[in-house]
Structure 1
Amino acid sequence: MDHALVAEDLSRSYGDTTALDGVSLAVERGEVFALIGPNGAGKTTLVRALTGTTTPDSGAVSVFGSPPDAVDENRIALLPQAFSPPERLTGRELLAYYAGLYDESRPVEAVLAEVGMAADADAWYETLSGGQRRRICVGTALVNDPDLLFLDEPTTGIDPAGRRDLRSLIADLAAGGTTVFLTTHDMAEAEELADRVGLLADGRLVEVGSPEALVAAHGGESRLVVETAAGTDALAGTDYRVSATRDELTIHGIGPEGIGEAVTALERAGIEYESLAWTQPSLENVYLELADERVAEEPATAGGAR
């Protein structure tokens, strides 16, 4: 495979706290890889190790076949979660400043348009909203037209329309051959954008796979939730697997093609209901399942991974 990024058995500790515990992964060129995990799982430490801004205690990182600090700076870009550029510059001035740090850079106006800031490019950074600031910050990571782009929580603080636009931009970058390593707490974002997803918990990479594969393996079943006071006995004698609360009856394992038959069974049983809602498992279900399992397996410790 043609890998843009390879990490082998990375470990990093801060005093008595283990931030990374033997993490290995490989990201192909042109792939969008999303890293998810609880706060304190070690995501930021892993990004720092992969970009060469933190030296692991053990293990090795290869970026385009070389150590991170030996890679041409034009080929790699990082947008950290915490980024505070000079506030008394306009968005246009900020992008021009960062573009000037590279031997070759993209046109500032084109980048402003891509991140949706062309109309507000002459406003001082300090006067921009949180979402507008984040758009400008994303722009600073794009001015060198990187081959490998690290985005640490890129859509934090951005309104829904802005998130949609940035997701579209990330998808376009990947379609054009840019490798994107993304950390996010937004499971819908990871599910929409990522070719593969890795779950990091307690410094260990618990699971890696495509969103579809992870949902199939760990997401649980689709289900039909019926708003009714009827209990599980209401469908006794049928093949349905059901559970109930005081005001809901859940029929488990129902695919979209089986909804009509299930409704017929409810009517035959004389069950009165207010509403029906069919839900299917998502990456959020995977996250909750695997993260909860990890917490249950690990004994409580003082402190946490950074």
Structure 2
Amino acid sequence: MNRVFNVETRAESTSQSSEQPARTSVLRVSFANPNGTTIIDNKYHTAPIKIAKAFPLDGQLGVIVMDVSPGLLDGDRYELEWTSGPDSHALITNQSYMKVHPSMPYGGSSMRQTFCLEENAIVEHMPEAMMLYKNAAFHNDAQVRLKSGSVWMQADVLCPGRTLRGEKFDYRCFRNELAVHYGDELIFSQRQRIEPAKQVITAPGCWEDMTHSATFFLFSDRVSRIHLEQLQAKLDSFEAPAGHSVIAGVSMTYRHGLSVMAASTAAWPLQQLMRELWSTARAGLLGKPPLRFLQG
């Protein structure tokens, strides 16, 4: 179903010296809808990231991103570019947790993703949780550009470390940025910086007793207060599993968007909540049923 791909794979250095220049790995994918079915129109990648699988989902296309390395090592930089043509509809996910490994004192790793959506294009970005190992330093940056009728939604979960190994907020620094443009207008911008050793993580208004956090974003000029009420109803009816508490809230953004923030004491309750919010948004905004193959 997919056209011929332009693919180039390049071996990357595995040296961990902080004096080495950053190792950049690239993935560029474009989606098109030439006859009512979304396909991959073009693709380019360099190791260790690539598209592992693409599969049809009743008119939309699902793609799974594979990282054939152990995860992001010190000095790694991932750049992913997603371009969605008019009326295309793509689901983007990955194979497993994104693991961010320790870095040297002045080192770190980063990932930058750009999503460019043409008229009436839809992108559902539903990656697995992010895991920050002890002494990790990571900068995560996402840029979204929307046009009339397009829809972008994303759910993500952040883990404080390998908690079963006793790691909890032992990473050095996490910077997280998201900017959303509608046409030429910046309609949303968020910047987050967490440095556990310099902050009182358990302070009121911070994490308090929580350890894991999650966000769900929905941006489109189709968004209205009806969708806010639908997501709020889902939050109100969500039952936290025994032994874990979940707190969450939803709000309208400045323009054309909804934002949900949630926290818990484990990743999997938040993953379940994100799936339910995603299903609610699909039904309310897109008129589509849940995608059961990702429903746990």
TM-score (normalizing by structure 2): 0.27
- Greater RCO between the two (CA within 8 Å, min separation 6)? 1
Which structure features the higher share of helix residues?
Answer: 1
TM-score (normalizing by structure 1): 0.27
